[in-house]
């Protein structure tokens, strides 16, 4: 297989890569808001996920065809092994992780969901050490503990005020974070071969087909005819603002700066989610939320700094 058209290896000092990753994180943060608004209209998890993908699928297919027509070198890279592995990784990161997250939002507030999902950088680190030959960076462990202490503060408040579904919802979203962390490592390896754009189109298109097929099996084609205009509107917002734009931005950032550096830029997501959730959804924001959020974000900042220092020290 030729690799002359491969993109350069990621470097953690690329400002444009960080800009892409931050923009993607901010847009991804709107996803939970649109999901909660749609759930208020009684739509099912499977239907909402399929609407998101129904909107996104044509965009990815058009871009995919355009890329393949424009660059003959890309077509040569698409061996059966690469295509099938990209499809599998796409299902992992864009269908399974998304489905678990959507399920969790049936039980959790958008603020808490985003903070739980925000723990995925720690799983990125652990999976890198366990499965991909990365070196364990012990100085980041205290930062991880700080963030999890913040989650425990908010979990405790929810447990005292509204415990119904809290544990199962937390487990769903934590499962989403774990799945997405594994996806990031696998996706980076695919993108080093075929590029961020082509991989995103293949992975997301495959996940979209799976999500749409799931809803067709459960509810049938006629179920789409019963949806109200607001639900279609939320599906459109999820497809464009919560899926298409951030997926390309995050993957372009990941291809330039790597999985770990990309995961460290997500601090903007919870802050944006909290502001919108309090403003639009009327979710509570107490002193416990403030303390918990501050700890989670502080842990993320400390994690990033400790990681950079540890990497410099080890060469």
Q: Rounded to the nearest 10 degrees, what angle do helices 245-263 and 166-194 cross at?
A: 90
**Could you count the other beta carbons within 10 Å of the beta carbon of residue 194?**
23
DSSP 79-95: -HHHHHHHHHHHIIIII
Kindly report the backbone phi and psi dihedral angles of residue 133, in degrees, each rounded to the nearest multiple of 5, phi listed first: 75, 15
| In the chain, where the domains are located | 15-309
Torsion of CA 304, 309, 310, 312, to 10 degrees: 120
Per-residue pLDDT for the chain (315 aa), expressed as one digit of tens each? Answer: 334 344 455 555 577 888 888 888 888 778 889 999 999 999 999 999 999 999 989 988 998 999 888 877 778 888 899 999 999 999 999 999 999 999 999 999 998 998 888 777 788 888 888 888 777 778 888 888 888 888 889 889 988 888 889 999 999 999 999 999 999 899 988 988 888 888 989 998 999 999 999 999 999 999 999 999 999 999 999 988 888 888 778 778 877 777 667 766 666 677 778 888 899 889 889 999 899 888 888 887 787 777 777 767 665
């Amino acid at each position: 297989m030729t690799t002359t058209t491969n993109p350069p290896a990621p470097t953690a000092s690329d400002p444009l890569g960080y800009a892409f990753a931050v923009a993607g994180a901010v847009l991804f943060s709107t996803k939970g808001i649109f999901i909660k608004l749609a759930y208020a209209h009684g739509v099912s998890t499977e239907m909402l996920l399929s609407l998101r993908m129904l909107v996104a699928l044509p965009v990815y297919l058009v871009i995919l065809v355009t890329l393949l027509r424009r660059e003959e070198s890309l077509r040569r890279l698409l061996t059966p092994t690469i295509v099938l592995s990209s499809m599998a990784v796409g299902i992992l990161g864009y269908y399974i992780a998304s489905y678990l997250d959507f399920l969790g939002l049936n039980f959790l507030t958008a603020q808490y969901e985003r903070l739980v999902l925000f723990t995925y950088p720690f799983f990125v680190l652990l999976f890198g050490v366990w499965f991909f030959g990365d070196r364990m960076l012990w100085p980041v462990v205290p930062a991880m503990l700080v963030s999890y202490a913040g989650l425990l503060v908010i979990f405790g408040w929810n447990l005292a005020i509204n415990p119904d579904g809290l544990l199962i919802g937390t487990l769903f979203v934590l499962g989403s974070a774990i799945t997405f962390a594994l996806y990031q490592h696998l996706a980076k390896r695919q993108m080093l071969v075929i590029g961020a754009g082509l991989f995103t189109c293949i992975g997301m298109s495959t996940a979209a087909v799976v999500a749409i097929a799931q809803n067709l099996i459960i509810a049938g084609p006629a179920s789409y005819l019963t949806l109200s205009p607001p639900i279609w509107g939320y599906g459109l917002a999820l497809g464009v603002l919560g899926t298409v734009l951030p997926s390309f931005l995050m993957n372009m950032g990941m291809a330039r700066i790597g999985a770990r550096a990309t995961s460290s830029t997500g601090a903007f997501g919870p802050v944006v989610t909290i502001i919108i959730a309090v403003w639009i959804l009327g979710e509570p924001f107490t002193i416990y939320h403030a303390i918990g959020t501050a700890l989670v974000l502080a842990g993320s900042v400390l994690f990033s700094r400790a990681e950079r220092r540890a990497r410099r020290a080890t060469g």
